[in-house]
Amino acid sequence: MDKFTQLKAIAAPLLRENVDTDIIVRIERLVGATFRNELGRYAFEAWRLRPDGTEDPDFVLNREPYRSAQILLALDNFGCGSSREGAVWALKQRGFRAVLAPSFGDIFFNNCYQNGVLPVIMPNSAVQALARQVEADPGRKLVTVDLVRQVVVAPDGGETAFAIDRLRREALLDGLDDIGLTLKRESEIAAFQAQDRARRRWIWAVETGR
């Protein structure tokens, strides 16, 4: 998995609530998709493109300098809805490595960590304040997301600390893969299953037929 330590980049304000994963990437772009690296161009297509296929100049990600943003500023419940991990792949391919929002869809939140994308939980007021600074001079006002120090640094130098679970932080900093970590616990899993087969025989009966 890609590591995440520190990122200083353009931040795009997408100040909407309840941005769902269907809007981040449409399902038909994922059906049978073999190459995850082709998904970036489909990110937010219902908002980026008008029905005739041309870009909507009013949409934030179609404006400079936000086309090359790597940080997304969002509101409550970002990534709600469908469990499709393609939403994270599409964001990442589009260049985003961090999303700052007051809350996230639970499944999307987990999916981010599986792909080296950092979801940062920040109060609504802090996200809005960041957006105001960025919008005042979008070309030069970069935002820093520092996972080592667990702070977001605003363009004016103001710092907001954020919390992150130790397990998730360490995995991102070291680029660790969950499967690799769990496979090391094979003996514990085997012991659990052996006990459980005796304790809950009824759950295991499906293994041997009806």
Partner 1 sequence: MSGATLFDKIWNAHAVADLGDGYALLHVDRHLLHDLGGGRAVMDIKEKGLALRNPGLTFATPDHAISSAPGRAGTSETGKRLLNDLRTLSHEYGVRLFDVGEPGQGIVHVIGPELGLSLPGALIVCGDSHTCTHGGMGALAFGIGSSEVTHVLATQCLIQRRPKRLRVSFEGARAAGVTPKDMILYLIGRIGAAGGTGYAVEYAGGAVRALELEGRLTLCNLSIELGAKMGMVAPDDTTFAYLAGRDFAPKAELWDEALAYWRRLPSDDDAVFDREERIDMAAVAPQITWGTSPEQVIAVSERIPDPAGIADPGKRRAAEAALAYMGLAPGTPIAGTRIEHVFIGSCTNSRLSDLRAAAAVAKRGKVAPHVRAWVVPGSETVKRQAEAEGLDRIFRAAGFDWREPGCSMCLAANGETVPRGERSVSTSNRNFVGRQGPGARTHLASPAMAAAAALAGAIADVRTFGG
Residues that bind partner 1 (CB under 8 A): 15-18, 20, 22-23, 26-28, 30-32, 46-47, 51, 75-77, 80-86, 88, 103-107, 110-111, 114-115, 165-167, 178-179, 181-183, 185-186, 188-189, 192-193, 196, 200-203, 205-208, 210
139, amino acid identity: G
Pairing relation of β-strands 11-14 and 6-9? unpaired
By beta-carbon proximity to partner 1, the closer residue of 173 and 181 is 181
CA-based R_g, the chain, Å: 20
**Minimum distance of partner 1 from residue 199's CB (angstroms):** 8
Q: How far is the CB of 195 from partner 1 (least distance, A)?
A: 10
Q: What are phi and psi of 115, to 5 degrees?
A: -130, 15
CB of 140 to partner 1, least distance (A): 27
131-140 long-range CB contacts below 8 Å, 24 or more apart? 131/11, 131/13, 131/15, 131/73, 134/10, 134/11, 134/13, 134/73, 135/13, 138/10, 138/64, 138/65, 138/66, 139/64, 139/65
By beta-carbon proximity to partner 1, the closer residue of 10 and 72 is: 72
Alpha-carbon gap, residue 122 to 161, rounded angstroms:
9
Nearest distance from C-beta of residue 63 to partner 1, angstroms: 18
DSSP annotation of 81 reads S
Residue placing its CB nearer to partner 1 in the complex, 115 or 133: 115
Which of 82/160 has CB closer to partner 1?
Answer: 82
Nearer CB in complex with partner 1: 40/81: 81
